């Protein structure tokens, strides 16, 4: 999927609209994780260093009422961005109107402004999220070219990506979006083998299409986390108080048949009597989980099995923790998987599919141990499902 990037256009003297994903977590009004800001810096710096006039914008959180609006201003993000760039970022506290238009017209080459949270427009009939044609056209009118660098919203058909692209002469990818296309899209199209996919998280229902798509492509699909217990139930085992989607058991049976041996679940788990960080910890074979216990992590034999497939892999894609890694005593499985993948970085392409998996590797101090850590949770999932993402499709082809 060859797409034009910001390298393929001349930005000097042009008003460059840059859609970034600055949907960062806030705690007491302060940014608690700035990774998405850092990931956007190469594109923004490129535009500024090449004489472009950068107009940066993003969503932040869900905005359904005035209370959401009050706590989700991008002003704090503009301040952090300014410190990273070592230059002033003019913050415009509106999403449209004369104040914004005047600020854009005053921009000089190499200068940057950021306007307010695009989802503030959702207070008036979901105009941003529902790709209101008039809003996309308005935002497009503010710039000469459009750089989409927000992979985190690439699965959304919104006014701030697809809407702008439909109303502007040139739409190109930023470096972050280019990286996501290369690593996730390119890997799915032409993986080096053996290709091992690791899927975890809570629910089979969240990843049905991912499993179906990866079974066509991967050599092995390792499944852990809460979703594994629906498969164990499908295999005839009792799972005690473990997380279970009873209505998906028949589907799990179908997937196991479809897999024809590709799915690996292991044969033991660590259990506790309650979903609590201080609950007792026991190791159980999957055929002997007590009725009053729940599985909270993959067991030592399963960990060793997963490691044996990972160590020989040439491509690894991981989406979803294999245990409750937030609880220290039930984090061993997820940490071992993360370390095993990090250990083969020099011999394989290793991709972390965003969301909780990315949070886990950051928690374990392994953020530099992978070829690529995706910045998109939902977008990564849909990309792994083999879907066409609107935010990528709208970028001009090479």
Residues labelled catalytic: 36, 203, 355, 378
Q: How many CB atoms lie within 10 A of CB 23?
A: 21
List, edge to edge, every strand of the sheet that includes 263-264.
263-264, 220-223, 195-199, 315-319, 349-352, 372-373
C-alpha torsion angle, residues 159, 163, 168, 173 (rounded to 10): 80
Give me the half-sphere count of Cα atoms (radius 13 Å) on the Cβ side of residue 170: 21
- Report the DSSP beta bridge partners of residue 196: 220, 316
- C-alpha dist (Å) from residue 43 to 48, 54, 68: 9, 10, 29
Q: Which two tokens stand for residue 123?
A: 């207070």
- Distance between CA 152 and CA 180 in Å, rounded? 10
Helices and strands (H, E) in the chain, number of each type:
16, 17
């Amino acid at each position: 999927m060859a797409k034009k990037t910001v390298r393929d256009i001349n930005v000097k003297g042009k008003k460059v609209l840059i859609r970034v994903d600055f949907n960062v977590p806030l705690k007491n009004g302060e940014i608690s994780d700035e990774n998405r800001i850092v990931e956007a810096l190469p594109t923004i710096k490129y535009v500024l260093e090449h004489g472009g006039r950068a107009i940066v914008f993003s969503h932040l959180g869900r905005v359904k009422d005035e209370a959401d609006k009050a706590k989700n201003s991008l002003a704090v993000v503009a301040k952090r961005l300014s410190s990273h760039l070592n230059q002033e970022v003019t913050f415009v506290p509106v999403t449209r109107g004369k104040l914004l238009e005047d600020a854009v017209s005053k921009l000089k080459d190499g200068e940057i402004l950021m306007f307010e949270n695009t989802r503030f427009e959702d207070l008036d009939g979901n105009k941003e999220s529902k790709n209101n044609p008039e809003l996309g056209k308005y935002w497009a009118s503010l710039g000469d070219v459009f750089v989409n660098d927000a992979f985190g919203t690439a699965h959304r058909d919104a006014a701030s990506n697809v809407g702008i692209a439909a109303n502007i002469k040139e739409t190109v990818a930023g470096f972050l979006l280019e990286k996501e296309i290369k690593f996730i899209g390119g890997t799915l199209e032409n993986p080096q083998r053996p290709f091992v996919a690791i899927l975890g998280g809570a629910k089979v229902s969240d990843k049905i299409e991912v499993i179906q798509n990866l079974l066509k492509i991967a050599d092995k699909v390792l499944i852990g986390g809460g979703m594994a217990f629906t498969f164990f139930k499908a295999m005839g085992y009792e799972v005690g108080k473990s997380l279970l989607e009873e209505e998906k058991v028949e589907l799990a049976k179908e997937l196991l048949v479809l897999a024809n041996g590709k799915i690996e679940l292991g044969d033991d788990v660590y259990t506790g009597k309650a979903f609590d960080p201080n609950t007792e910890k026991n190791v159980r074979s999957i055929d002997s989980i007590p009725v009053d216990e729940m599985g909270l992590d993959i067991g030592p034999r399963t960990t060793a099995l997963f490691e044996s497939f990972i160590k020989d892999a040439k491509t690894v894609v991981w989406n979803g923790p294999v245990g409750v890694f937030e609880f220290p005593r039930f984090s061993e499985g997820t940490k071992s998987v993360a370390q095993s993948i990090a250990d083969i970085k020099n011999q394989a392409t290793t991709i972390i599919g965003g969301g909780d998996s990315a949070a886990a590797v950051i928690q374990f101090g392994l953020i530099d141990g992978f070829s690529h850590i995706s910045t998109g949770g939902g977008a990564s999932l849909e990309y792994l499902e083999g879907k066409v993402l609107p935010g990528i499709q709208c970028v001009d082809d090479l």
